Amino acid sequence: MSTTQSERLRELLEPLVTSQGLDLEEIDVASVGRRRVLRVVVDSDTGADLDRVADVSRALSAKLDETDAMGAGEYTLEVGTPGAERALTEHRHYVRALDRLVRFQLREGGELVARILGVDEEGLDLEVPGVKGRRPTTRRLAFPDVDKARVQVEFNRKNKNDDAANAENEEEA
């Protein structure tokens, strides 16, 4: 039997989110002044666009209205996606971060910033960027060696599709 409000809410809402083709990533109930805010974070392997988030928000709101899961007081429901610099805590998060730059806090201490090239059940294949003109290197990192991991935002990265398009344009010219 679940004991916390977040666990009870997860049991109530997760089947509904799953039926919409999404994963329930996080539930947080917070007090903001005199109001309470229920934040629900959803995602999927293909992402969650605004329409899907709106659909699941309406479904969750209806379910919460028909139960007393949030109690008698007023609250605000906020449904969203994890955001650009999401923490990676589940295997599926690493799979979704394939080809993304990630900052790892290592269990043994220290930090590593690398791009995820591959993910399997035991760990990750990474590309560590070269320093001072050196070539990038590859490295294997087992999941038990990772304390924390967070996706990094990249503003200047060339997209692989852009490289392919540029190559086609050069061939045509």
pLDDT at 143: 97
37 three-class SS:
strand
pLDDT at 74: 86
**Mean pLDDT split into 10-residue runs, the chain, 173 residues:** 77 94 92 88 89 94 90 89 88 94 95 96 94 90 96 77 47 47
pLDDT at 109: 92
pLDDT at 159: 60
pLDDT at 165: 45
Side by side, the strands of the sheet bearing 146-151 are: 137-142, 123-128, 111-119, 101-106, 146-151
108 three-class SS:
coil
pLDDT at 24: 94
d(CA 89, CA 98): 14
Among 130, 109, 129, 135, which Cα is nearest to 117's?
A: 129
Phi, psi dihedral angles at 20 (to 5 degrees): -90, 5
pLDDT at 155: 84
pLDDT at 164: 46
pLDDT at 3: 67
With a threshold of 0.85, does the pTM exceed it? no
Kindly state the helix (H) or strand (E) to which residue 2 belongs, with its residue range. Answer: none
CB burial of residue 106 (10 Å; 0-12, 13-18, 19+): middle
H helix runs in 37-121, sequence order: 50-65, 91-96
